[in-house]
Structures are given as structure tokens and as C-alpha cells.
Chains A and B, each alone.
Chain A
Amino acid sequence: MTSTPGSASRMASSPVATEPVVFTSEPRYIHRFSRTERTLHWVHAAAFFVLLGSGLVLYVPRLSELVGRRPFVKDVHFDTGLAWMLALALIVVLGDRRGLRRTLRELDGFDRDDRLWLRRIPRPQGRFNAGQKLNAALTASFALLFAVSGVLLWYGERNSSFRFASTILLHDGLMYVSLVLLAGHLYLALIYPSTRHALRGMTTGSVRRDWAREHHSKWVDEQKSPRE
């Protein structure tokens, strides 16, 4: 122990470090996610949890036995899947499509900073960091694969020429990989202190400017400079 008696009280009595006063007319918060983006995110999240819950009841023997009512749970799972696809399509059609196209371009491109960031070299990032871009790409791919394998499971039961021995493996495998991605996502969004402020962006749409400058400085700079 290196602390000396009284150090705690000395620290407590020392003047509180004053925050640097920023003389600026910039608002404290900066808008990060549009209403369309947030709706897409939360509809996808809600559907994922209902599908996960009902899917586990169908999949885990103990849960199947405990809950029973398999035909009903099967209907819940299937209907949620349909509603999920329909809702996503509706949001895209009725939402801010131009904004979504811009977001897609943003997600797609990995510049030099992004590529260095992936190699764990800290570099300034845009509105999405390279990890978020990859997560978005995989989430989109898994959504498509879940939908395709799910429809095949449903239709293969009715028409055996659409039955493949590996459909269920794909559907289950996706579940496992998605759970890993989800665990990382939830950790960064809810628990890890320096990143969890991002959740505010996904609920209210805006994030603190100082936080954004720390994590997404290129994006903050772009917001300041007049668009060409």
C-alpha cells in the first residue's frame, strides 16, 4: 500500500478540476441517426428477440418440453419472421430513402483510416467506425440468410423439392454466430463505459458533441465544414 493516511481527505478537499470552458456557439448535441435509421434498428432488434425466444423454445429440448404448444410457438416464430420482413420493407419504402442510400455508401467504403483501425491502430473515424461497418454488413447478410433458410424450412415442409439436408444447420448456425455478434454489440452499447453513450444516439437520435469528437472525429469535422 503506497497511500498515506489522509491522502483521501486531501484529494477530497483539493479543488475540483474545472472543465475547460469552450467558447463556442456549437450546440452540445449532434444529430447522429435519422428517424428512419432508428426505426429500422429497433424493429430489427425487437423482431430478433421474439424470433430468438420462440426459436429457442422450438430448438432446446428442455424448453420444448417445458413450454409445449409447439404448433402455436411455430406459428409465432413464422408470423414474426413474416412481420419482420414486411416491416423492414415498409420502413425502407416509406422512410427517408435518400438518407438510407447515403448511409449505405458510408457503411460500404473503408478508407485508409478504417483499414488501419481494423488493425487496431487508432485512427480518426467517420460516423461509423470500421467495426460498426462490418457489423452492419454481417447483420444485413445474416438477416437475408435467416429469411432464406427460414422460408426454405417452412416451404420444404410442404414441398420436398425445396428440402435441403443443410437448411436447418444454416438456420441454427446463423443463430449461434448472431448471438456472438449480439453479445459484443450489447456489451459496447450498454456496458463498456467509453462507448455506451452511443445508445443515446440510437434512442434519441443525437449524441454529445465531445463524445462524438472522441470517437467519430472525422464525422464531426465534416458536419462543421460546409458541404461541397
Chain B
Amino acid sequence: METPQERHPEESRPYARRAFLGATALGLTSLFWGKSVWSAFTSAARPLENALPASLVPSGWRIYTVASTMPTFDSTTWRLQIAGLVDRPQTLTIADLRSLPRAEQVSTFHCVTGWSVENVHWAGVRFRDLLAAAGPQASGTVLEFVSAEAPYVDTLMLRQAELHDAMLAYEMDGEPLRREHGAPVRVVIPEMYGYKNVKWVERIVVTDQVSPGYWEQRGYDVDAWVGKSNGL
């Protein structure tokens, strides 16, 4: 049986306060070191990740949409339009796209909100090959990508779209682009944040001026270079 407590106030230590302050300090400072520590950890854990079945490893993707429903497409009726300042406007089917020179690459996808997915395998068409038949006019220096997910639009300068690793992708990680990743085709430009990588592209308009895209109308930078824009 316990004898009545002898009270030693000095014996009581404020551990809960310390746990609270410690965890809070750790969390708040992680705003500045979190991502670098996390990427060091994930690259150290890569052998483990490769050993595990793929279904157990989180893909790292998050699916961002701005409309209330995600576009669906019907491969028999779907067409990609190429219009604007071109000599010969085009209407392409999936088969037309796939008959163009195929490009493949492995690159990292960076979202402006802080997450990244490494080693994404893309297959698709380089913009130079895509636009060859349409023939952009000399004044056409900007590509505007119109998404089936209205009202999402964004632009790239033609010279940005012609970077060596930019493409209009129709395959991801060895299979046709999945619906949540922009089926059937999306823009891939790894040097820029994800919001420039327009999903569900259904129209490409060649123009002579940059008009702000969906997020740019909401304050994001027009040139979304990874690590050099949007305050990052």
C-alpha cells in the first residue's frame, strides 16, 4: 500500500512541456530542412524500395485537378487539334500521334507544392516532330495548351517546348497514360513545375503572345523553372 505521498515539488519535471516544445520546434524547423533530409532518406532507402513489390511502394504522385469531374476520353472519337498561326491546321487521332517519331525519356517530375516523383518513364512525341506537318509561321512563338479539363490552360514558349526533354507524352511507365495523369496525352517539361505540364491536352494553339494560364491567373510565375521560380 502506498503511504501518503510526500510532496517534493522539485521532483516534478515538466516533461510534457518539453515534449510539446521539442516536437513543435522539430516540426517548424523542418520547413527548412525537411525536403533535403527526406530526399537523402529516400535515396538511401532505394534498395529496400526496389526489393518490395511495386504495389506496396507509394508512387509519390498526387492528382491535382481544378474541375469537378476528371475528363474521360473515347479513343475512337478523340482528336488533337493543332491550330492558330500554322500553315496547315491539323486534326490528329491517337493512331496519327503514334505514327510520329517516338521519343522516350526518364525524368523527374517536380510539383510546385513540394513533392517530386523521380525516374518517371515517358514516351511520346517531341514538339518539333508534332508541329512539323502543321508548319508554325514565323510569328508563332508561343504554344497554348487547352485541356479537356476546362478551364485549365497554360502556355510554353516554342523554344521552351523544344527543349531536349520536353514532349507531348502518351505513355507513362510503360503503359498508356492513365486517366488521372492526363489520358490520352499530356505535356511533359521536367525543367518546369507540374502546372506547366498540362494534362488532358485536346488543343494546341500556336500564337504570338503569352496569355496567363490557369495558375498564372492566380499568381503563379509564367516561367516555372524548377528551383528558380514561385519563391522556391
Interface residues of A (CB under 8 A from B): 58-59, 61, 64-65, 68-72, 107-112, 114-115, 124, 130, 133-134, 136-138, 140-142, 144-145, 148-149, 152-153, 156-170, 173-174, 217-218, 221, 225
Q: Report whether over half of chain A's contact residues are helix, strand or loop; otherwise say mixed.
A: helix
Quick one: which of B11, B15, B16, B232 contacts A165, CB cutoff 8 A? B232
Is A65 a contact partner of B180 (Cβ separation < 8 A)? yes
- Give the residue name and chain of the A residue nearest to B24 (CB): A141
Interface centre among B32, B33, B59, B70 (most CB of A within 10 A): B70
Which residues of chain B from 186 to 232 have any CB-CB distance to chain A below 8 Å in the complex?
A: 218-221, 230-232
Q: Which of B61-69, B100-108, B124-132, B158-166 contacts A (4 or more CB under 8 A)?
A: B61-69
Interface centre among B12, B16, B27, B231 (most CB of A within 10 A): B16
Is A65 a contact partner of B12 (Cβ separation < 8 A)? no
Interface centre among A70, A162, A218 (most CB of B within 10 A): A70
Is A163 a contact partner of B24 (Cβ separation < 8 A)? no
CB distance from A166 to the nearest CB of B (A): 3
A-side contacts of B34, CB under 8 Å = 165-166, 169-170, 173
CB distance from B172 to the nearest CB of A (A): 12
Is B2 a contact partner of A71 (Cβ separation < 8 A)? no
**18 A-B pairs whose Cβ atoms sit less than 8 Å apart in the complex:** A58-B62, A64-B62, A64-B65, A70-B64, A70-B66, A70-B68, A108-B14, A109-B15, A111-B12, A112-B11, A141-B23, A142-B23, A158-B218, A158-B219, A166-B30, A170-B27, A174-B27, A217-B2
